[in-house]
Structure 1
């Protein structure tokens, strides 16, 4: 099985009271992170933005048992663990 993708969710507040979720993925170098996706519209509450970001992150996992995997994964392989 290929590696689990390292995707992080965080909340950004470019203007006071306007919260946006952002998904970042680790690049080839562990010190480099690339933006994958972000909210189109602001949320009034930080927690609402965070929850929406987590839902977006969940969409990257085609199988909830093993999470989001790198390209070329064998979806029929048994999960490890």
Structure 2
């Protein structure tokens, strides 16, 4: 199961949120994007239950989160490997 999250935090908790996400093995990519303290985060889990566990135990308790959304990736249409962003 592949999902991506859009997470906005308060400025004083951004570094803590990044470090929590960085340490989690289900999280595969973390991008800081434009906007106020926003992160674009990818996660790949072995099952829906594992993704639910990630949301309940890691994403939901993150400190200072102002908004969070989760979107399931249905299919990969184009993915250029090795592209430097």
| TM surpasses 0.5 | no
Instruction: Return the structure number with greater helix share.
Output: 2
Q: Which has the higher contact order (CA 8 A, sep 6+)?
A: 2
Larger radius of gyration: 1
Instruction: Return the structure number with greater strand share.
Output: 2
Q: Normalised by the size of structure 2, how large is the TM-score?
A: 0.27
Q: Normalised by the size of structure 1, how large is the TM-score?
A: 0.28
